[in-house]
Amino acid sequence: MKTDYIYELKMKVRDYECDSQGIVNNANYQHYTEHTRHEFLESRGIKFSTLQEQGIVPVVARIVLEYKTSLKGGDMFYSRLNVKKEGIRYIFQQDIYRAEDEKLCVKAVVECVCIVNGRLKTHEIFDKILIPNS
């Protein structure tokens, strides 16, 4: 893994994720980044469904996606992630690279906030994601 990410997930494009241009439909990259965040949470011992049961709802407030290179059906890719906290926002930097040649496909910045029992605030359970793995 490149050194400036704290998590990566290897995935493969499924043919049904491609549209009539024969490439992955733009919205599906957002699905990839969501799935990567949830897998990252799980790697830190946080299950998304458990959070919801505890009244902690992480929501995306803003997302910026830059499309650089298209992925095609069957392509393997790495979905990599970094996270930092700014105020009550958790800023995820999420980049997708084609596995074959490490070409950057999509650069995403995803700003999340936590809604705890209906109110916007941070929560120690969620802050566990910020502690580096040892």
Alpha-carbon distance values, 97 to 24, 30, 34, 125 (Å): 13, 14, 16, 30
Q: In this structure, are strands 76-86 and 119-120 parallel, antiparallel, or unpaired?
A: unpaired
Q: Is 19 in the site for a second copy (CB under 8 A)?
A: yes
Q: Figure out which of the listed residues 1, 22, 76, 120 binds a second copy, where binding follows CB under 8 A.
A: 22
- 10 Å CB burial of residue 64 (0-12, 13-18, 19+) is exposed
Position 34 contacts a second copy (CB under 8 A): yes
- Closest approach, Cβ 84 to a second copy, in A, equals 19
**Considering only residues 61-80, where is the footprint of a second copy by CB under 8 A?**
61-67, 72-74
Residues lying near a second copy in the complex (CB under 8 A): 14-16, 18-22, 25-28, 30-31, 34-35, 38, 42, 47-49, 52, 57, 59-67, 72-74
